[in-house]
Amino acid sequence: MKPRAARAFEISVLEDKIEELLQFHLHLESYLRLELAKLKEVATSRQKLPPDKRELLEEMYSDEHYLLEGAFTRNVRYSTLVSAHTLLETGLNSICHGERRRFQHAVSLVDLAGRGIQRAKTYLEKVCRVSFPSDSADWTRMRILAEVRNVIVHTNGDVRRGNQRERITQMVQSTKGLSLRRDGYIEVHPEFISETLDMMRKLFGAVHRSFPARRS
């Protein structure tokens, strides 16, 4: 298989995985909306109950509402973002490994300094001579994804516990689809996940098109 065809196949596999994760995200968000709607129905119907039963139901409603709209929703979205970043990093690494295998590059990915998506970007630029779309909005979003992922993994999403609190706070506040809760946790809105996955798909396509013609 020619290099360009091999890359096209790799990219198509990555696009399928991105679509799977997007559908996972959309189905979970639909489930959350449905469950919250059910809770609101319960909240409305409790007004018709005797005072003693109403008090018990209100306590149950309060607990369920907190778990569903708070902890459960936050953890589900955090998990989806961590999965998205894993897909991004493994996808870029896979492209690098494929190029080394096809062209027998003396330098491997692990020979370079750094790590994660930045190291893969460096490999594609320096070794594979790719005109990487560094200035694109898509790559900027991937870097934001990496930052949010690190906060989630290292401090469970609590910006206050990190050593770059001011920088992360500014990034969150200036990024559509992200916000900062009063308790210091990053709030991820569903549109941020959908847009990030769409931009990831476009980034992989841009990388594929950026390979020099001599490597076709």
Looking up tokens 């961590």 gives 82
Where in the chain are the domains? Answer: 3-211
Question: Are the CB atoms for 161 and 186 separated by under 8 Å?
Answer: no
Give me the chain's average pLDDT, please: 90
More confident residue, 3 or 178: 178
Distance CA 76, CA 69 (A): 11
Model's pTM, two decimal places? 0.88
Does residue 53 surpass a pLDDT of 70? no
Query: How many beta carbons lie within 10 A of that of residue 107, not counting itself?
Result: 11
Distance CA 190, CA 178 (A): 9
Residues 163-173 have pLDDT tens digits of 889 999 999 99
CA separation, residue 175 to residues 103, 153, 156, 167 (Å): 39, 20, 19, 12
Question: Are the CB atoms for 95 and 207 separated by under 8 Å?
Answer: yes
3-state secondary structure of 58: helix
Distance CA 68, CA 175 (A): 25
